[in-house]
Structure 1
Amino acid sequence: MSQITTSTFFKVATFSNKWWAFTQMQLGHLGMKQVAGLTFYKILGSGAKNGFSAIPNFGTYVLFCVWESEAFATAFFEENTFFKNYQKRSSEHVTAYLNSAEAHGFWNGTQPFQKTATLAKDKPVVVLTRARIRFRKLWSFWSKVSTVSQSLEGYDGLVLSIGVGEWPLIQQATISIWKTQAEMMDYAYKNPRHKEVVLLTRKLNWYQEELFARFVPYKFVGTWDGKPVEV
């Protein structure tokens, strides 16, 4: 068996469905207990902008899962009651199937990813950045990162970027999908706003815990913004 990761993005439209999705940030854990082949998962809310954002978006949520194999993921998507309810209540959803290529750091004390793929400069890549922000550093952090969110908009090679998190303000992450690793690297190392925040991260010691991971996507199921995700 070979480990895979899935990231399912949900859009919810009506007030009742937004409220239901919001409550599932806590209640949804009941539906994720004792799922066969599931080794790690997070039910995530989203920010209102690309990348990190202190402003919540009650219309978008993410279910992020790590599986022992794709067969276990398939069984979950076909049979799990919690997931089926989420599908019914969402106006749109898409699932990215990913193989882990590299990961550094920890998520709640765990490094959940096993390397099963190799990155290539001319091939698609999915990037996860996640951090737990030190409480005393919150104002410093949020006063700086909005420029990074703005700098992502319309950037060459970016297919989709969503700021997500387990808890508002303190635990934040970004999941971004890029057409090629070369275009992602161009943004990461050449964009002046992004470079500035990376330097400040080290200088100001914002994070209590952080994780950076890259994945090779091999399949997308569903639609986003009315069309299939293509990379």
Structure 2
Amino acid sequence: MWYRLISLLIGYGFGLFQTAIVIGKIQGFDIRKEGSGNAGTTNMLRTKGAKDALLTLIGDFMKAVCAVLIVQAVFAHRAPQMLVLLKMYAGVGAVLGHDFPFYLHFKGGKGVATTAGVIAAISPLAGILCIVVFFALFFPLHLVSVCSLSAYSFFFLQVLVLGAIGRFHMTVPYVIETDVLAAVLTGLCFWQHRSNLRRLMRGEEKKVYLHRSLNEEVQKGQR
């Protein structure tokens, strides 16, 4: 139990680093007062452009990778029989820290880039496949919410399959617990995107492009 809690806290500590807010402070703006007010990659791309969005993506991605790798280093010899499970706890903690930072009144981002870091750190192949799913949908649709939720769902399916075929090298109870954590992450993602889902059902979800000028044109056209 203590190993799980320690892993969760390590992840939460790393998740508290809000990349978009730090970039804003350096450049003299508050991303929470721009666009949708979300402190994440999509809002940064829509309002500030690809460069700042990429920096946000890298920062949010790497904090999860660092959390998972630290847990791996700490517990690789102490608890090898449940290592993937502990790394998943670190990942859950990182996403919770990103989504619900205590020092920002528990209002952070939606955790997509952070979860991408979790996936890549636990299974690089799974991370690559999720990226393929994301961009395979992004370029024809330009709906980040649809792409993110699809990639999340694919991640959950991969965890189920990898656990079932023994790739995690854990006993069944640990595999099931890992599946539950993956389901929690996926459910949290859908919950964080609930407003996007409502807009999608109404046909009002805004499209996002890699060029800031296109985003500005779309926003003007929707006013």
Pairwise same-fold verdict (TM > 0.5)? no
| Larger proportion of helix | 2
| Larger proportion of strand | 1
